[in-house]
Copies of this chain bind each other. A is one copy, B any other.
Amino acid sequence: MATIADIKRPVEAEWKQLERLQSECLRSENKLQQEVLTYISARSGKQLRPLLVLLSAKICNPVTDKTLRTAIALEMLHNASLVHDDVVDSADTRRGAPAVHIRWTNKVAVLAGDYMLAKVIGLVAEVRNTQILEIVSQLGRSLSSGELAQLHVGQSMWINEEQYNRIIELKTARLFQACAEAGAESAGCTPRQRKALCEYGRMLGLCFQIKDDIFDYSDLEEIGKPTMSDLSDGKVTLPLITALQRAPQPEAEQIKAKGERLKDIENAEEKARILEEIKSFVLRFQGDEYAVQRMLEYKQKAIEALSVFHDSDEKESLLYLLDYAINRVQ
């Protein structure tokens, strides 16, 4: 499998410019704010989203200053939304380190997220492209709507496949789509190129999210993420949705009853036992395999979308990125 370094190769020089501009953007006159922003930036992971922006721009035309600002803005919007999501979901860790609201407080996390959102407006203002502005605004609405939708259905945690699709569309697919679309737009793409990258980005995002959800039911010792964490948080994803639909009704009802009790169980051993039982249930009805199938369908659509482009290093990287999203082990 191609590594992130391999995927980055066609935009190596542009990546260095991006990093320089990014560290300029982190400066703040408020000491606490500066601390929080630096903390988030130091734990910003693989930065797949700005990478997608750069590749989507360069597959059309040379990368411009507009591209760099767009990439930083979208990564910042993503990070701001993670900081707020962690408050909302009471998640303790993020990328292996204490979440901002744990390291500081909920208050600091809410306000630092707001500050970052305001910075996003400023960055996009500098791009001076109304279409990119519209993409970013639409994305901001989608991200908060996606989380809200999840809260709303959360009252009954047993969403169906349609509701699941709607949530991952708003929460993840739109973000990847926006990165690809705004990247292309920042480099002055043609309408045909924009449409293709929009589709590619959306499909990549769906693959990425479904892979994350499959991880939760994974048996791999080596994966870097905790398993069964979504369900412990009351989040039901595609593998379990599928198994519940395939199982005989009485058995499905039993599993649901157990799943609902999870949040009230304090005994760690008992909790682990029930989680293990639900996991076996999912594997027995091949809920995970169905999710893999869906993911591969989306992958195929992403590949087809890229067919409007001639072969190039950037196109190869975008294909590698798709493989990476699907085959990564963390």
Contacts and interface: CB of A to CB of B under 8 A. Distances in A.
A144 B137 CA distance: 19
Interface stretch (A118-126, A221-229, A279-287): A118-126
A296 interface: no
Interface string A1-35: 00000000000000000000000000011111100
Interface string A193-211: 0000000000000000000
Interface residues of A, number: 47
A144 B115 contact: yes
A13 B132 CA distance: 34
Contacts of A31: 152
Interface in A103-117: 105-108, 110-115, 117
A89 B107 CA distance: 8
Contacts of A110: 84, 87-88, 110
A148 interface: yes
A151 B108 contact: yes
A300 interface: no
A117 B119 contact: no
Contact of A137 (B106, B119, B139): B119
A130 B125 contact: yes
A59 interface: no
**Closest 9 pairs between A and B when the two form their complex, measured CB to CB:** A118-B140, A122-B137, A121-B137, A125-B133, A114-B144, A115-B144, A88-B107, A118-B141, A111-B144
